Structure formats: C-alpha cells, structure tokens
Structure 1
Amino acid sequence: MKKIIYLIMISLFVMSCAPQNKIADTKENHEIKPTKNDDGEWELDVLDTQYDYFLTAIAKPMSMYSENYLKSRNTFLVTEWNSYYFSGRYRNVIESSIDYNSNENYGIKFEYRLYQVFAYVQWKYGLKMNGLSQADIR
C-alpha cells in the first residue's frame, strides 16, 4: 500500500512539473493611429528620442516636398510596412501596424512626419523601404 501511495505522489509531482499545453495569447494587435490635437490638426507621436534629432539634423526640410508627393509615397510605404508587420518580417524593428487612410486629408505636416518615420527607420536600423526616394536614402 505504501508503494502505491509513493507511486501516486511521484506521478503527481512529475505531472505538475510537465510543461503546460495551453499557449497564452500574448500577441496583441499594436497599431499606430493618427490622432487629432486640440487645434484639429493630425498628429503623429514617435517615442524614439533620436527621431527629433533626425528631423532637425538629417532629414530634408518639409519645404522640399509637396503634400501630393508625400501622400502618394506614404500610401505605398504604409502598405509595405504593414505587409512586413503582418508577415512577421523584421520583428525586431516593426512592432506595430499603421492605420492610414489615403482618402483622409491629414495635412502636409503629418504626411511629412510619417514619411520621415520611414526614412528614420532606414537610417537608424538599415531597413530598406522600397517606397523611399533615392534622394532620402543615406
């Protein structure tokens, strides 16, 4: 009888140490969404501290671009970015998708900042984005 109790206790101990088959749902749907500020302008917040340095010291000035040019480039680049995100490519760089509606009038400031996000990612991480202009690749 003692052997059976010991056998049951050892079996329970071994089963409690076995890995669980239940997989936790840790993948959250991260998404970057444009928001409007109090003045009614669209905003894009970038949390990387070097992004502001990149905008002021490295990126071409906003006056070098037209809003239509930036909108067409951003439409292509957002599609490319989201395809990388949903396919799982470049997981160490791309951690969220971008919610961008090409029919929305975001304004040139927003379009410029979004375009420069892609240029910044290429500058900092070396991620080649096919939609970037050759003049913006450094």
Structure 2
Amino acid sequence: MVMLIKSFLKIIAFIIVMALAIGSCTGTKQAVEVTDQEKMAFNQKEGDTITIANESLEYDIIIIEPGFNFWLQSVAKPRQYYSQSFMENRNNIYVREWNARVLQPQRFGPNLYELQINYDPQTDYGYEVNYQLYNYFIYFKRKYNQRLGPFVPRI
C-alpha cells in the first residue's frame, strides 16, 4: 500500500512539473504587435501586384494583395537577413499548411485560401523567390491573424 501511494505521488508530481513546463513554454510565444506602418499597409485598398519569378526555372507566383508591396518595402526584414535555407524550410511548412487549408474550405475561409501553391522542396527556386514568398506568408499571417504552422508570426 505504501508503495502504491509513493507511485501515485510520483505521478502527481510528474504531472505538475509537466504542466508548469508547458505553461512556461507557451507564455513566451507572443506575436509582435502590429506597427503603424503595418496598419497603413493592411488598410490599403488598391491592389499591389507582385510577380515572384525565377525565369530559368519558368516558375512564378503572382500576388495581388493590397498593401503587400508597401509592407515588403517598409516593414519586412531586408534581403540577406535570413538565409535561403531558413526561408526554404519555413516556406515548405507554410505551403503544406496553406494547401491543407485550401482543401478544407468549410473549415478555413475559402476567400483567404483560394488556390494551392505548387512548391517543391527539392527545387532551388533561388533567393528572391524564397524571400518574397516567405515575406508574403508573414504579411498574410499578420494581416489576417492566421497561424500557418508552429511559428508565431513576427517580423
């Protein structure tokens, strides 16, 4: 009986330690507040058209999103801030989640997630394509308060 009580107390102690550990981890992941410049970008009504292209691969993405170009020029981290491999890894995660949401229009807004993105992690799209795609995801997540994957949308 004493052994059973000791085992029970160990289990309770373990549960309390795990709850505290989980609570402390989730408390540190807070998104950066939206800046005045971001608010200006998010409130723009006229459409920007950005073409993300790598002509040697005959690959392009066209983004028609009011305010994205302004946000990219004024708020986004400058080119070379992130490595290409960092952005490729994040883009791969974001694209998978994006495409999953496109396939679930009853659960996720079909006006937000309209078309799938064909992104092959084995293809080298180059720095510029990855930079603009990565920043579009950051812009999208912050503007529409979405979370694609485990990362808090920050700049």
**TM-score category by the smaller chain?**
0.5 to 0.7
Q: CA deviation at 1:131?
A: 4.9
**Superposed, which structure 2 residues align to 1:91-130 within 5 Å?**
91-130=110-149
Which one scores higher on RCO, CA 8 angstroms, separation ≥ 6?
1
Moved runs in structure 1, 4+ residues, more than 6 A?
A: none
Name the counterpart of 1:64: 81
Corresponding position: 1:77 with 2:94: yes
Larger Rg: 1
Q: CA deviation at 1:62?
A: 1.9
Q: Distance in 1 between matches of 2:131 and 2:54?
A: 16
- Seen in structure 2, the aligned counterparts of structure 1 residues 96 and 123 have a Cα distance that, compared at 3 Å, is same
- Seen in structure 2, the aligned counterparts of structure 1 residues 127 and 109 have a Cα distance that, compared at 3 Å, is same
Percent of aligned pairs with the same residue?
Answer: 25
Q: Distance in 1 between matches of 2:147 and 2:93?
A: 14
User: SS of the residue aligned with 1:120?
Assistant: helix
In the superposition, the TM-score normalised over structure 2's length comes to: 0.58
Corresponding position: 1:49 with 2:74: no
Q: CA deviation at 1:111?
A: 0.5
Contact 2:94 2:148 in 1 (8 A): yes
Q: Distance in 2 between matches of 1:43 and 1:92?
A: 21
Contact 1:44 1:113 in 2 (8 A): no
Q: Distance in 2 between matches of 1:131 and 1:69?
A: 15
Contact 1:76 1:131 in 2 (8 A): no
Q: CA deviation at 1:35?
A: 5.4
Q: CA deviation at 1:60?
A: 1.0
Structure 2, unmatched stretches of 5+, are 1-51
In the superposition, the TM-score normalised over structure 1's length comes to: 0.65
Structure 1, unmatched stretches of 5+, are 1-33
Alignment size in residue pairs: 101
Contact 2:54 2:126 in 1 (8 A): no
Q: CA deviation at 1:85?
A: 0.7
